[in-house]
Amino acid sequence: MRRLDRMPFGMHKGQLLSEIPADYVEWLLSLDHIRNPLRGVVEQELELRAEEAARAIDACPDVQIADELIGAGVRALAKKYHPDIGGTNQQMQDVNATAAWLRAGLRRLAS
């Protein structure tokens, strides 16, 4: 039997499953009519992506540098989304909430 490695239908027809955006792959699994072998291959692809992400996290060389990167990102986004510069309160709250979420994840990884 031939291994299913390309999307057989839809907007990503013919693309390698490894090249399809994660949100689309996750959406595929939410569809009731997707059956094996495609369902199994999609589940394997998501598992591979999760393992790859975990390896990337484990490879983070320095928590302090990662925290500084988050801070630099917040400062850069504040220049774009701060209410005094034309952004909205909600946009700035979203930036800060996302930074807090990233820092919390970083603390969990460091412990």
- DSSP notation for 10-46: STTTTSBGGGS-HHHHHHHHH-TT--TTHHHHHHHHH
Q: What backbone torsions phi and psi does residue 6 show, to the nearest 5 degrees?
A: -125, 150
Q: Is 11 inside a domain boundary?
A: no
Domain that holds residue 78: 63-110
Return the pLDDT at 65.
86
Q: What is the mean pLDDT of residues 31-54?
A: 86
- Amino acid code (one letter) for 109: L
67 and 100 co-located in one domain: yes
25 and 43 co-located in one domain: yes
Domain count, the chain: 2
Return the pLDDT at 104.
87
Check pLDDT > 90 for residue 4.
Answer: no
Q: Please, are residues 76 and 95 in contact by the beta-carbon 8 Å criterion? A: no
72 and 106 co-located in one domain: yes
Check pLDDT > 60 for residue 2.
Answer: no
Return the pLDDT at 75.
94
Return the pLDDT at 29.
85
Return the pLDDT at 1.
39
Q: Is 70 inside a domain boundary?
A: yes
Q: Is 1 inside a domain boundary?
A: no
68 and 38 co-located in one domain: no
